[in-house]
Amino acid sequence: MMLASDTRETAAADSGTEDFGPRQADVLEAALTLLVEGGDKGFTTARLARAANCSKESLYKWFGDRSGLLAAMVTYQASKVRVAGSLNARPSAEEFKRQLTDFAHDLLTVLSGPTSLALNRLAIGEAGRTDAQLGHLLTERGRRAIEERAKKLLDTGKRAGLIRFDDREEAFATLYGLIVGDMHVRMLLGETVPALAGDAAISAQAARAIGKFHRLYAAGDDMTTTA
Amino acid sequence: MMLASDTRETAAADSGTEDFGPRQADVLEAALTLLVEGGDKGFTTARLARAANCSKESLYKWFGDRSGLLAAMVTYQASKVRVAGSLNARPSAEEFKRQLTDFAHDLLTVLSGPTSLALNRLAIGEAGRTDAQLGHLLTERGRRAIEERAKKLLDTGKRAGLIRFDDREEAFATLYGLIVGDMHVRMLLGETVPALAGDAAISAQAARAIGKFHRLYAAGDDMTTTA
DNA sequence: CCCGAACCGTACCGTACGGTACTTGTTTGG
DNA sequence: CCAAACAAGTACCGTACGGTACGGTTCGGG
């Protein structure tokens, strides 16, 4: 129910950052819960009003519109998953690999989370019409953070002489592809992916992916250490 | 719900053999067109009836239900993309690489096609509720073919001594991840992915992915050719 | 003590959808 | 040539949604 009222000041990162009073946060929390267990079909203003103990009129006063409400849900959820990886400017090889593996683990955990899946389903469903305003918002708010973290990680590895690449974009794309593969789409389609069932499986998948990435991008020739 | 036991005497109940008389095929074609340019929002029985010059009653008689109609659309579309790669039992290294690249090219072309995107969006939107019957159908009808072709390809390469792997599933997953990455989800979200804009870009992406795959799975030690 | 703002609960409106029923051609086979 | 089947077109029904309006209630400030 309540995550203790956020005393966040200076949350300003780049753009947007409306901080949603505590009442609105509660409503958005209820909205996400409703969306997770009902899909966009089960998510309606009347139901949300009942679930959040507020009136529909207030919903429209606060968020203006249904799409405004959805947008608010996206930014609200994105503001919750702000993760910060501990960075070491000059990591050892093992340390770096560990950081990469942690990144992969976090990425898989986030992507397989029910809230992420529900929001992505919603945005994808809406992407057919209205030119994907919500999809853009989702990629902007959700993916950007991940991409930033990964690229910082890659730069660190390159500076430390541990990995080698020319195109950082391409390296990131490869890393992402190796970690996630088609599992994201399969989960979005409702399948249960065995490689992501439980934390142990996720860790195994992360380790496998990072092993391959290392064999592709390692600066040295220690690629014989494959499991 | 029920598949009606009505006058339908064709035994196409279970799997495969979707013959769909020519009239039904036309209707399904119109349905796909409508879905592509309207999304699931713009796709309604009344609109389809008007677009296909048929009556709603006929729609319900032929497909039983809205979900039945959607399922028919999926299987119909799947029956159209039946691709057959020319297989060579004992290809040379270059020939094999070419086959892999062709596969990657075809995969990217199919995934970025508007019909595929629309159907995937539909199934994903429906996956929130109703336990993803349509999603399963889509993976079964659509992905299976691709997976079969790829695995046959991998086996061929292994038999020819060109690539080496223990787990075929894992090798396929890696191949898929290297080719597609997160571009599928991004397209589903409505983004325009530059790496897939036009056939030349797709070919370049395919070649890049297969290059990496080869560096990971080549049987020889020619992996020193890193760029 | 009162006033006004905020807000909950509910009722309401227009619309649009899925699904059904009926009427009117049009085919088809005996 | 006729009757039975089939299908187009339309009208219709129940429902459910997005969005709005209204009465009652709380709460903080003057």
* Interchain CB distance below 8 Å, A135 and B190: yes
CA of B75, C1' of C29: distance in angstroms: 34
Task: Check CB contact of B124 with chain A, cutoff 8 Å.
Answer: yes
CA distance A180 to A49: 37
Q: Best of B172, B212, B215 to disrupt the A interface by mutation (most A CBs within 10 Å)?
A: B212
Integer angstrom CA distances of residue B80 from A23, B124, B217:
52, 21, 32
Partner-chain residue, chosen from A173, A181, A188, that has the shortest CB–CB distance to B124: A188
**Smallest CA–CA separation between B132 and chain A, in Å?**
5
Residue A189, helix vs strand vs coil? coil
Task: Give per-residue pLDDT as tens, B89-102.
Answer: 889 999 999 999 99
The DSSP symbol for B163 reads: B
Here the tokens at position A186 are: 């399969």
User: If we measure between CA atoms, which residue out of A216, A77, A143 comes closest to residue B216?
Assistant: A216
The C-alpha R_g of chain A, in whole angstroms, comes to: 20
pLDDT per residue rounded down to tens, chain A (227 residues)? 333 333 333 333 333 345 788 899 999 999 999 999 999 999 999 999 999 999 999 999 999 999 999 999 999 999 987 766 677 788 999 999 999 999 999 999 999 999 999 999 999 999 988 888 999 999 999 999 999 999 999 999 999 999 999 999 999 999 999 999 999 999 999 999 999 999 999 999 999 999 999 999 999 755 444 44
Structure tokens at A29: 């929390």
Query: Whole-angstrom Cα distance, residue B47 to residue A119?
Result: 28
CB A128 within 8 A of CB B40: yes
Residues of B in contact with A177 (CB under 8 A): 177-182
Tokens of A171: 């390296």
**If DSSP codes are grouped into helix, strand and coil, which group holds residue A218?**
strand
Largest alpha-carbon pair distance within chain B?
66
C-alpha distance from A213 to closest chain B C-alpha (Å)? 9
